[in-house]
Amino acid sequence: MKWKTKITKVEPNHLITRGYRQEDLIGNIPFSHVVYLLLKGELPTKEHGKMMDAILTACIDHGVTPPSSMASRIVASGEVPLPTAVAAGILSIGDSHGGAIEKGAKFSQDGIKRMKDENMNIQKTAETLVSESREKKKRVLGFGHRVHTSDPRTKKLFKLSDELNISGDHIDLSKNIEKELETKIGKKLPINVDGAIAAIISDMNFDWRLGKAFFLLGRVAGLTAHVYEEQTTEKPMRKMATVSCSYTGPAERDLPQRYQHKDNMEE
């Protein structure tokens, strides 16, 4: 069985990751830049390095209510090892939790490609994409938030991407889509943190298929803190949530006739 990998070469007393000796990376390259190296294959420029670091920090935590933190804390309460509970939270990262980064980045990258192919300008592209989405009754992902109307993380990320000269067509497109949505819907649906990250990683030339990875790599820090807090300050199997549940299934009933008169489980 012959595998190929571009990630790490392992020999006795010799570990090479993406070409670099691990002992050179350790203590010389900030961890967030090493993460970039792992995902992209090359170390970041100074600007990309700072942006990468900022994106990871923007994803660290959103309190106890998102599916990932809830899942991690609930699983921790069953009394399992820390990594098992952290992994449970990661499992919830799906198309609706963190998934807008992936889908948003794809939408944006496809949009910019099409803009170039069809020789449109950004504004026209935004109009076209919004109107097509509305026709198909599909939400444009990455706009609006259930808690925040002006998310401080989004503002900070865009401020940085401007300062670092990273902002390009994809961020521009997002801002035009935001305006277009406001015009068409008559209501402000501000770019949310997922949408901002989707646009920024697209301007950093990342594959949209890595969309969920950024969220995961930042959020895993918060999940670890939640599991540790649950394990060290709460009792296992504590009552965690008030869920008033109404049973809407069939009313109480006897077993069907056919199961009642025989030795039903004859081998």
Residues in region 150-209 near a copy of itself by CB under 8 A: 150-153, 155-157, 160, 207, 209
Binding mask 224-253 toward a copy of itself (x if CB under 8 A, else -) reads: xxx-xx-xxx--xx-xxxxxxxxxxxxxxx
Q: Closest CB to a copy of itself among 30 and 168? A: 30
- When the beta carbons of 111 and 222 are compared against a copy of itself, the nearer one is 222
Q: How far is the CB of 69 from a copy of itself (least distance, A)?
A: 9
Total residues in contact with a copy of itself, by rule CB under 8 A: 141
Cβ contacts of 204-207, under 8 Å, gap ≥ 24 = 204/48, 204/51, 204/52, 204/166, 206/39, 206/40, 206/105
Stretch that binds a copy of itself, among 20-28, 106-114, 171-179, 181-189 (CB under 8 A): 20-28
Show Cβ contacts of residue 4 under 8 Å, excluding neighbours closer than 6 positions.
Answer: none
Sign of the CA dihedral 117, 120, 121, 126?
negative
The nearest distance, CB 256 to a copy of itself, in angstroms, is 6
* 187 contact partners, CB below 8 Å, separation of at least 6: none
Task: Give me the 91-130 binding string for a copy of itself, x by CB under 8 A, dash otherwise.
Answer: xxxxxxxxx-------------------------------
Nearer to a copy of itself, 21 or 113 (CB): 21
3-class DSSP string for 98-119: EHHHHHHHHHHHHHHHHHHHCC
Q: Among residues 157, 127, 146, 145, which one has the least CA distance to residue 191?
A: 145
The whole-angstrom separation of Cα 74 and Cα 68 is 10
Give dist(CA 148, CA 86) in Å, integer: 26
What six digits make up the tokens of 19? 């070409």
Residues 6+ apart with CB under 8 A from 51: 44, 160, 161, 164, 166, 200, 204
- Tell whether residue 22 is a contact of a copy of itself (CB under 8 A): yes
Q: Based on CB atoms, which residue is closest to a copy of itself, 133 or 224? A: 224
Closest CA to 58 of 143, 159, 136, 132: 159
Residue with smaller CB distance to a copy of itself, 74 or 120: 74
By CB under 8 A, is residue 13 in contact with a copy of itself?
A: yes
Q: Which stretch binds a copy of itself (CB under 8 A): 11-19, 108-116, 118-126, 133-141?
A: 11-19
Query: Restricting to residues 32-61, which ones interact with a copy of itself according to CB under 8 A?
Result: 32-35, 38-39, 41, 43-44, 46, 49-50, 53-54, 56-58, 60-61
Task: Provide DSSP, 151-164.
Answer: -HHHHHHHHHHHHT
Q: Work out which of 134, 148, 179, 184 binds a copy of itself, going by CB under 8 A.
A: 148
Nearer to a copy of itself, 119 or 243 (CB): 243
Q: Minimal distance in Å, beta carbon 120 to a copy of itself? A: 29
Q: Which residue from 71, 110, 141 is spatially nearest to 208, judged by alpha carbons?
A: 110
